[in-house]
Amino acid sequence: MKYRSSALLGAVLLSAGLVACSSPDEGSGKTADGKTVLDVWLMRDSVSAAFQKEFEAGFEAAHPGIDVKIQVQEWNGITEKVTAALAGNDAPDVIEVGNTQVAQYAQSGGLTDFSGKVGELGGASWLKGLAEPGAYDGKQYGIPYYAANRVVIYRTDLFEKAGVDPKQIKTRDQWIAATQKLNTGGTQGIYLPGQNWYALSGFIWDEGGDLAVKDGERWKGALDTPEAQRAMAFYQRLQALGKGPKDSDEAQPPQAEVMAKGQVAQIIAVPGGANVVAQSNPALKGKLAFFPIPGKTADAPGAVFTGGSDLVVPAVAKHQDEAFTFLKELTGDAWQKKLATAMSYVPNRTTLAGAVSSDPGAAAMAVGAANGHATPNTPQWAAVEGKNPIKDYMTAVLTGRDPKAEAAKASGSITATLNSGS
């Protein structure tokens, strides 16, 4: 699933004019001097103009027979555009897609299967939240590109005033106790809107549950399981320690703007949210820091939803070998380290987490990313999000309705939607 924040990425927008200098011979797939033209679609804000320029120069120096032509695509309308490209005969050679979109495209048979190349691509240490949704029906189609996830953004001055040491918050119970201590003197211990279903998903995964599970050939909503019920009960406890609305999500109103008003000690957000807070209230610049969402126990950080992208190659792409070379380079150690540093991303595998150690926000993300997850791996999940009964369920519980009855209703809705295409 795409997971974008302009504040997180801080990217200089790409220009479609930043392409290699050689003019292609239209229709031949070759430049005038005989190089193979490799057509690549990357998404808006995926990389900065500076990184793109550096990568193109480095890649073409290492592979002089390939001329990379990167075209920047917009997220709005991209699903229809990619679907049409996969069904046609003039598809690009490499496409960046949201990690949870891979199943939707793979279902049609339009993607190249890289199952036999996983080892060569360093798949043993790929982030689960990128690798698992990149697979469909037992085959690996999506190659992990980069990740981002939520952390806790906190006010260092309010923590110090309350005598709370963030380094001592390793478990959810410790987090509750610290937030209760912060929730005094007009300060909200945490601002948590009632419909932050991404945060709830992490708590469900911590409990050993999921949003939906596969039962034979059918899917079944799982919000009514004991694991999910425990997670919702924890969410309810945490949400009650602030004044977040029970009937809206983190975008309504924008939670960074709420924090900028000066009375909120913590929010759950991507690290770039801190930039938004400081821009809205310059007095808070230098007073914001990060820690990973705490886990149920101190043994592991809290589970998080992994947003980010995978790279795929259309089955009809004309330059399969060159496309694989591109994948291997951009998702390999050297360029992943450069990308993570340049863009404050989490690299695509756990062994590279140290690349962002000097970036406090990205470093906190990387800790959480090691326990990252994705939404249920089915092409129909997008339809669930379109209706999003999870949000309605959360509001119902937070406003006093029966948790079990509401969970059963939401699970039934998820079940019906996921099996509607069966």
How large is the average pLDDT for residues 373-388?
94
Side chain identity at 83, as an amino acid letter? T
Q: What are phi and psi for residue 140, nearest 5 degrees?
A: -95, 110
Query: Which residues, including other chains, have CB under 8 Å from residue 134's CB and lie 6 or more apart?
Result: 99, 102, 140, 141, 142, 143, 144, 310
Asked if 133 contacts 375 with a C-beta cutoff of 8 angstroms, the reply is: yes
Q: Helix H segments across 209-359?
A: 226-239, 255-260, 273-280, 320-330, 333-343
6-148+307-373: CATH class: alpha beta
**Better pLDDT: 421 or 169:** 169
* Mean pLDDT for all residues in the chain: 92
- Convert the pLDDT of each residue in 177-209 to its tens digit: 999 999 988 999 999 999 999 999 999 999 999
Residue 35 CA, chain-centre distance (Å), reads 35
- Asked if residue 419 has pLDDT above 70, the reply is yes
Q: What is the domain partition of the chain in residue ranges?
A: 6-148+307-373, 151-304+376-418
- Asked if residue 17 has pLDDT above 50, the reply is no
pTM of the model: 0.89
- CA-to-CA distance for 318 and 373, rounded, in angstroms? 33
- Convert the pLDDT of each residue in 287-302 to its tens digit: 999 999 999 999 999 9
- Between β-strands 36-43 and 94-98, what pairing exists: parallel, antiparallel or unpaired? parallel
Structure letter (DSSP) for residue 397? H
Asked if 296 contacts 207 with a C-beta cutoff of 8 angstroms, the reply is: yes
Cis? peptide before 253, omega within 30° of 0: yes
Nearest to 37 by CA among 70, 15, 61: 70
Q: What is the CATH number assigned to the segment(s) 151-304+376-418?
A: 3.40.190.10
- Asked if residue 13 has pLDDT above 90, the reply is no
- Asked if residue 341 has pLDDT above 80, the reply is yes
pLDDT at 215: 92
- Convert the pLDDT of each residue in 227-271 to its tens digit: 999 999 999 999 999 999 999 999 999 999 999 999 999 999 999
- Within 28-187, strands assigned E span 30-31, 36-43, 66-73, 94-98, 135-136, 139-140, 143-148, 151-155
